């Protein structure tokens, strides 16, 4: 009886092997051998992508003049330098005087010099390279929000200029590194009541 079960198992094993091999031995040629290179797709005339060279043009200095409804930040020609500002509804001379009073107490930064003809002030401002993050509520409750971070805090030079923005208003603009400019603009805006 053992010979008959072995005789039945051998043909079944051979058929199973053929089925598992995918019947590859019955094909005479493979499809990939007959594949031919097709021509690449062609873009029809008039459907080419538009020129992107104008997207990389850096605007000239002074092209970001503050408008009466607010000012926007402009990255300067030097990496890391930024110009930002705000509008006050006052004359240039009066705004220059008010900015001088706000800067003279030294809370925003150390006044290094001023130019009355150009209506500008030079400040040395201690500000971080990175924006400060407020600690979470849980960190403040556990007393872990008071530790200072290890960011680079060094004096930065900021130039504050007062220019006319037309129609009886003037623009206060600060130029320097981003962290220092943000500190100066925010402090002056809150003290002088500027918009934008």
Confidence of residue 103 (pLDDT cuts 50, 70, 90): confident
Average pLDDT over residues 144-167: 71
Confidence of residue 156 (pLDDT cuts 50, 70, 90): confident
CATH numbers and ranges of domains, the chain:
73-192 (3.30.310.220)
**152 Cβ contact partners less than 8 Å away, ≥ 6 residues apart:** 128, 129
How many whole angstroms separate alpha carbon 83 and alpha carbon 63? 11
- pLDDT digits 0-9 by tens, 39-60: 888 888 777 776 666 666 666 6
- H/E segment holding residue 131: none
Is the pLDDT confidence value at 161 over 60?
yes
How many whole angstroms separate alpha carbon 51 and alpha carbon 144? 53
How many whole angstroms separate alpha carbon 188 and alpha carbon 186? 6
- pLDDT digits 0-9 by tens, 117-153: 888 898 888 876 555 556 677 777 776 655 444 455 6
């Amino acid at each position: 009886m053992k010979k008959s079960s072995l005789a039945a198992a051998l043909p079944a094993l051979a058929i199973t092997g053929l089925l598992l091999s995918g019947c590859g031995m019955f094909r005479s040629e493979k499809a990939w051998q007959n594949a031919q290179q097709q021509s690449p797709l062609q873009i029809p005339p008039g459907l080419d992508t538009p020129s992107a060279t104008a997207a990389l043009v850096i605007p000239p200095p002074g092209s970001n003049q503050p408008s009466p409804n607010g000012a926007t930040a402009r990255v300067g020609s030097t990496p890391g330098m930024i110009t930002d500002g705000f509008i006050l509804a006052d004359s240039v001379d009066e705004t220059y005087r008010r900015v001088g009073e706000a800067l003279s107490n030294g809370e925003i930064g150390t006044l290094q010099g001023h130019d009355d003809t150009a209506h500008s002030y030079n400040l040395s401002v201690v500000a971080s390279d990175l924006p400060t993050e407020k600690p979470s509520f849980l960190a403040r409750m556990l007393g872990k929000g008071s530790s200072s971070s290890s960011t680079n805090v060094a004096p930065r030079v900021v130039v504050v200029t007062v220019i006319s923005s037309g129609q009886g208003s003037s623009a206060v603009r600060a130029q320097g590194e981003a962290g220092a400019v943000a500190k100066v603009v925010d402090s002056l805006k809150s003290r002088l009541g500027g918009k934008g």
